[in-house]
Structure 1
Amino acid sequence: MTDLLTISDLSVFYGASAQAVDSVSFSVPTGSVVALLGANGAGKTSIMKAIAGLIPAEGRQVFEGEDVSGLSARERVKRGIVYVPEGREIVGDMTVRENLTLGGYHLSGRERKSRAEMVLDLFPEIANKADRHAWRLSGGEQQMLAIGRGLMAKPRLLLLDEPSLGLAPMLVRRVFDRLGSFRSESDLAIVLVEQNLAMTMRICDELHFLRGGRIVGHRTAAELSDSAARQEAIDAYLGAASAA
């Protein structure tokens, strides 16, 4: 399988001396789901923001065979690199439909309409609330809207940061199941940041474990197919709190 994204020696600094990410390297094959797992402060979100072009970073980032390290966030979106941030960050005073339109701002009117129909088919929970202000949605519905807004941009690579944050387990499963369905019907690749290993295992192909800004372990989903192997990974890299 061809690599869609290759990250080489990625480092991120905040200020003169605070290093959030230290020489991280990994690749994302086309159509795959690659998870970054670790405790708070492990560097996961900094990696995602660097790939999205939202913060400065050292190292090399190659997307579809081209070095995109120096591109702006706007240019990366046009190329198909789309970031769905932790905390959703939808525009509450805009309607569901307006939020979706915002996500596809660079598309033609016809493409925006087609993508919006696709998103609302994928997330029927928000389809019947398309003209409702986003702040009136439940937490789970807001997360669906945030992901849908990201999908509006026709991503080739979706950077999904903590989609389970603050959601009840039933809603988390629903969101992940929808992502799994969409992924199985397209060649979309996903980089997923999560702390919940059990839920991550529902859709991922590869997992990288981070600690202190470095990758300290790597497993394939196949290697973690049994409960003993998953528990070993939890004990080695995540701690018991991530078993839920």
Structure 2
Amino acid sequence: MTVKFDDRDAVAHGKITEKPLRERPTFPSWALKLTMAVTGVIFGLFVLVHMIGNLKIYLPDVDGKKDLDVYAAFLRELLVPLLPHGWFLWIFRIVLLICLVLHVYGAFALVGRAHQSRGKFKRKGMVGSLNTFTARSMIVTGIVLLCFIIFHILDLTAGVTPAAPDTFAHGAAYANVVASFSRPGVAIFYVIAMVVLFLHLSHGLWTAVSDLGITGKRWRAILLFVAYLVPALVMIGNSTIPLGVMFGLIG
């Protein structure tokens, strides 16, 4: 541990040290936390809207076309002719990629600094709760989600086998989802990933409330409730799709 006023006897016996356990970073920790909070909120909003769009798989056909396919075509045509065909999606993907890089960098940087600052000392006596578990497992759940994102892109966006089924066709969103989740292993993996997303996102949004400086008692109570409500809705909504395909409700 470090001390502001050094005790010569303690220093002499090696119990404390006058030297800091890590160098002062060029990018302050508060800025990293703020970056992670902002990017985390962006991801939270994205997965919520993405889930709402996914649930169109349950809606009836539109002029003989699957409503999910109509929605996918709408996204590619968004802001046309202001932007060329498909550009909005690519700009949006680039923004999300930048947010992802910043979020991952901030996470590993903060964890590294925390370990350096604590040295050999570890936190003890923490009260066991869901929030404590999610806090301790943020890096693990984050890595699982990163692997899931890569697989999800290869499966339902890029159509790269063996992540995607052999029948993958660009633009056929409904058929691609059904074909992908017809594989039980993939469907179960998606459901597990949604549970992990709930654990990670709920604690992330819960932490972002403080990192963004929201201190009002009423606002904190509302936002902390939302921090659990939104991830729960996303988990339940998205999980119904692979389960629906597995049990023949969608197809």
Q: Give me the TM-score of the superposition, normalised by structure 1.
A: 0.29
Structure with the higher fraction of residues in strand conformation = 1
Larger radius of gyration: 2
Q: TM-score, normalised by structure 2?
A: 0.28
